[in-house]
A and B are shown apart, each in its own frame.
Chain A
Amino acid sequence: MGYTLAEKVLARVSGVPGVRAGQEVMAKPDFVIVYDFPGYTDVIFRQMKEDFGIDRVAEPERYAIFIDHMVPVATPAEEQLHIQTRNWCAEQSVPLYERRGIGHQVSAELGYATPGAFAVHFDGHISQLGAFGTLAIGLRRNILEAFVRERVSLKVPQTTRINLHGTLQKGVMARDVFHHIVRVLGPSACRFQVMEVGGPGLASLSIEGRQVICGLAMFTGAITAVCNPDEVTLAYTHSRNRISIDPVTSDPDASYAAVHDIDISNLSPIIVLPPNPANTRDLVDHLGIEVQSGYLGSCASGRLEDLRIAAQILKGRRVKDGFSLHVIPTSQDIMSKAASEGLISTLVEAGAFTSSPSCDYCFGRIATMGPGQKAVSTGTLNVPGRMGSPDSEIFLVNAAAVAAAAIEGRTVDPRKYL
């Protein structure tokens, strides 16, 4: 019986050859990645010192701290948090990445998504490093463990395998595939497991698309997601890898909790209605919902293919008067490439508001919605209050559908503009 990718990674980092799902191990993360956020990093830094008497982390190069929330700051208290983080990183010789973009994306750009590596974060969307064959798990507050000792305690997860078949039609994007997975399998199909996505349908998707699918895995109940590395992802990671390890893939005879086959060739754009990420419907059945704002960005979008399709739709057209369209590239690298391609000028000429990368649009810290307002969004989720007032509503759609809604001020099928 073969092993899953997750079992292979955890065997290496726990030093226990042949671990199987269900075993409890002490695993040494190759990377400990966090962003500074009140209640997390400030508390961790304090607890390390006060509760555990630890002045310095061992092997600081294993750690990576991002400043991507509260960028730019709006209050002195927010700046104070960043100052504390900068000071801590300087004292500890821990790499700090500030204003480079959303950490989950920039981590990949910087090589923390080394295939076969084990990474931990407090935020579960780090699962998107799985697109490169990295096992990346969000531990919530248990991330403290990774700051006070070398290893974290973990039960080796089972894996559910999803084979995608077919290719996407025009105007249908990777996030539609993810929402479709939730629709078909349900929001607890991969509970406490790894969601492994593969098959010819996955091979047809871009790296960016795979990042999106893996990044949203938590809404299937998965603790993370992975794709077996292929020549496409290995070409991306080759020059970036931060550590020298062999990539691993799941064996053909690995033991899975379940195997599902999903055909994506007849998929149409999806809309996720409020109030939760399980509320997945075909967009064509929910056209004409009046919306006042649109957000194209987040760690689950805002990449080049998203910006390209939005620019294609908005080229020579106008954002409807009174509609607020925010297009926020996910990293500075993406911003720069989008500018070089002329995408930014196309979007701005159409009436989009763009700014440098920041996580802040996704959780309503800025572009905050008022009561009764509705938005189309490529953000990570649509629970009440996520982007402002608890009485506002978020409709999750793909980047094309955000751009199309911006033209008409209501939910529309983006395919008519393509």
Chain B
Amino acid sequence: MSLANLNGRVAWIFTEENFDVDLIVGVKNMKITDIKELSALAMQTYDPDFVSLIRAGDLIVGGANFGYGHPHYPSLRALRHLGISGIVAESFSPGFWRGEISMGTPLISCPGILGAVQRWDEIVVDWAKSAVRNLTRAVTLPLEPLSSGDHAMLESGGLVPYLKRDLQSASA
């Protein structure tokens, strides 16, 4: 089994360092559990048309230390529901990284990405070639390879399926 490449447009670029992901749905909406209600709120302070503009497979691009602070899960839950297929950032904050990889969200650490994309560019995350390609601008950047544990967790679709698979293969 290998990870499927991600192919989509850059739906938004967070250029700021240390971005607090709770702002994606808004701190005051953190306790909403209904996924439809939550996802309708996503990105509203950044682009009120965001929800109608994105297509399944689109990606988010972020700056350095993306996810810093005290990240909660609802924001990425909303983005996944809307079809966002992954986040490509200059670098990630470890707590956010660990939490979202365990949810099966592809996170791609790619130094230089902020300088290589504009909104709505079409990009491909090519795991096998360990690269992010900007098809719109014909630019390619290397991505930082996943650890084998993180790779396996994303392949499985998150923590629970990963552990099930691993435990089954251990007992087989």
Contacts and interface: CB of A to CB of B under 8 A. Distances in A.
B93 A275 contact: no
A278 B70 CA distance: 12
B152 to A, nearest CB: 8
Contacts of A222: 94
Interface string A382-394: 0111100010000
A140 B98 contact: yes
Nearest to B158: A141
A215 B59 CA distance: 34
Interface stretch (B113-121, B131-139, B159-167): B159-167
Given A24-B148, A221-B94, A381-B70, A390 B102 contact: no
A191 interface: yes
Interface range on chain B (Cβ under 8 Å from partner): 20 to 34
Interface string A128-153: 00000000001111101100110001
Contacts of A153: 149
Interface of B: 17-18, 20, 22, 26-28, 30, 64-65, 68-70, 91, 93-95, 97-99, 102-103, 147-149, 159-160, 163-164, 167
Q: Is the interface of A mostly helix, strand, loop or mixed?
A: loop
Nearest to B152: A153
Nearest to A389: B28
B53 to A, nearest CB: 26
B76 to A, nearest CB: 13
Nearest to B64: A188
Contact of A390 (B17, B26, B68, B97): B26
A310 B148 CA distance: 49
Nearest to A391: B28
A298 B138 CA distance: 51
B18 A142 contact: no
Contacts of B20: 275-276, 383
B95 A188 contact: no
A253 interface: no
Which range contains the number of A residues in contact with the other chain? 35 or more
Given A140-B99, A142-B102, A191 B65 contact: yes
Given A188-B18, A188-B64, A390-B26, A381 B69 contact: yes
16 contacts: A140-B99, A141-B102, A142-B102, A144-B159, A144-B163, A154-B149, A187-B65, A192-B94, A221-B93, A221-B94, A222-B94, A275-B20, A383-B22, A383-B27, A385-B22, A385-B28
Contacts of A390: 26-28
A191 B93 contact: yes
A278 B28 CA distance: 22
Nearest to A223: B94
Nearest to A141: B102
Which 5 residue pairs are nearest across A and B when measured between Cβ atoms? A390-B27, A188-B65, A385-B27, A153-B149, A390-B28
